[in-house]
Amino acid sequence: MPDKKDLISVIVPCYNESEALPFFYREIATVAKTIDAELEIICVDDGSSDDTLEKLRILSANDKRIHYISFSRNFGKEAAMYAGLCAAKGDYVAIMDADLQDPPSLLPEMYGTLKTEDYDSVATRRRTRDGEPKLRSFCARAFYKLMNRISKTELVEGARDFRLMNRRMVDAIVSMSEYNRFTKGIFCWVGFRTKWLEYDNIERVAGKTKWSFWKLFKYSLECIYNFSTVPLDISSFTGFTLCFAAIIGIIVIIIRSLCGAPATSGWASTLCVILFVGGLQLFCIGILGKYLSRTYLETKRRPIYIVRETDEDNKEQ
Ligand code: UDP
Ligand code: MG
């Protein structure tokens, strides 16, 4: 009896990707012919408002390899990736975007590496950021530098979510069922041996990016709060330094008055100091609040995503 072929699950988060999906399907179907393994493609419709779901229904009805999970609303890419990982049955699991910015043509090479070399995962990073606004590239670089200084979890600059993992690594990631998810950090946190492939930035094939500058900024803060407690250390240290400065100030004032020096005037500077310290206190409370709010959301144990429909529902009818 011939050896049973491996099953590779490909997870594709889709949010308003109706325009890109036909291109994606054509590409992945071509790649499937060149790879010596079975493929199952799990598209996760993240509450799209266009006809992504209709396209997925048709694709899945025509091709048994295509499965889909549709969310009850938009839960974000992190939730979509988690849903896909939970549903994947493959011996190997890949995550890739629907817009072909993660070239499916790399899949055979990635699979070959995992089969022949001693790695658990093959991940990708962008060598260049061509085609991206300059300010965005600059901020992204600064963010990676900062993050690697303040967190023990090493983040690789330009890393994409596009990667192929073996079952063991996928199980480790699925076991991390935290509500506030930052998957790039989770990939690093779980460890395992990862090989990095590099490729030049590719523009999306159709449709628009869902990430505004503001969304990316909030996403990077999410990463900091999830993988570092350094902001809390900084606020404690600042508080300690200010106390120390105040004690020295008090000693100087006492000595001056004991020596009979006249009282110094300067209500304006006093006001500035009060405002500065008051502002600093609010700022530090804000940081504390961020961590507390995350604890609050985690303790509620809300589901990470809610499914409205899957391809299984249609088969039962
Ligand atoms: N995506 C998603 N939910 C969202 C936003 C994006 O599932 O709320 C998906 C999107 O359909 C795409 C991938 O995540 O397949 C990456 O999104 P996008 O291409 O907009 O990001 P970029 O490549 O510009 O960073
Ligand atoms: Mg994209």
Looking at residue 316, what is its pLDDT? Answer: 57
Closest CA to 75 of 306, 295, 308: 306
Q: What's the CA gap between 205 and 22, in Å, rounded?
A: 10
Q: What is the pLDDT of residues 134-162, one digit of tens each?
A: 888 888 888 888 888 887 777 788 888 89
Q: In the chain, which residue ranges form alpha helices assigned H by DSSP?
A: 21-34, 52-62, 77-87, 107-116, 134-150, 167-174, 183-189, 213-227, 230-258, 267-300, 311-316
Of the residues 49, 55, 74, 77, which should be mutated to test ligand 1's pocket, given the most ligand atoms within 8 Å of the CB? 77
Looking at residue 2, what is its pLDDT? Answer: 59
Across the range 233-241, mean pLDDT stands at 89
Q: How many CB atoms lie within 10 A of CB 140?
A: 17
Ligand 1, residue 15: give the atom nearest the CA.
11
Q: What is the pLDDT of residues 201-226, one digit of tens each?
A: 777 777 777 777 888 888 888 888 88
Q: How many CB atoms lie within 10 A of CB 178?
A: 13
Q: Would you say 60 and 131 are in contact if contact means Cβ atoms under 8 Å apart?
A: no
Task: Give yes or no for residue 49 CB within 6 A of ligand 1.
Answer: no
Ligand 1, residue 12: give the atom nearest the CA.
15
Residues of the chain with pLDDT > 70: what percent? 98
pTM of the model: 0.80
The DSSP bridge partners found for residue 92 are: 8, 166
Task: Give yes or no for residue 46 CB within 6 A of ligand 1.
Answer: yes
Residues sharing a CB contact under 8 Å with residue 132, sequence separation 6 or more, in sequence order:
201
Q: What is the CA(73)–ligand 2 centre distance, in A?
A: 20
Which of 5-9, 41-45, 126-130 is least confident? 126-130
User: Which amino acid residue places its CA nearest to atom 2 of ligand 1?
Assistant: 77
* pLDDT, averaged across the chain: 87
Checking if the pLDDT of 27 tops 70, the result is yes
Q: Would you say 156 and 283 are in contact if contact means Cβ atoms under 8 Å apart?
A: no
Checking if the pLDDT of 281 tops 80, the result is yes
Task: Give yes or no for residue 102 CB within 6 A of ligand 1.
Answer: no
Q: Would you say 110 and 198 are in contact if contact means Cβ atoms under 8 Å apart?
A: no
- Judged by phi (left if over 0) then psi (alpha if -120 to 50, else beta), residue 266 lies in left
Q: What is the pLDDT of residues 161-209, one digit of tens each?
A: 899 999 999 999 999 888 888 888 888 888 899 999 888 877 777 777 7
Task: Give yes or no for residue 211 CB within 6 A of ligand 1.
Answer: yes
Of the residues 42, 210, 218, which should be mutated to test ligand 1's pocket, given the most ligand atoms within 8 Å of the CB? 210
Task: Give yes or no for residue 158 CB within 6 A of ligand 1.
Answer: no
Q: What is the CA(303)–ligand 1 centre distance, in A?
A: 21
SS3 state at 311 = helix
Q: What is the CA(239)–ligand 2 centre distance, in A?
A: 42
Residue 227 pLDDT level (bands cut at 50, 70, 90): confident
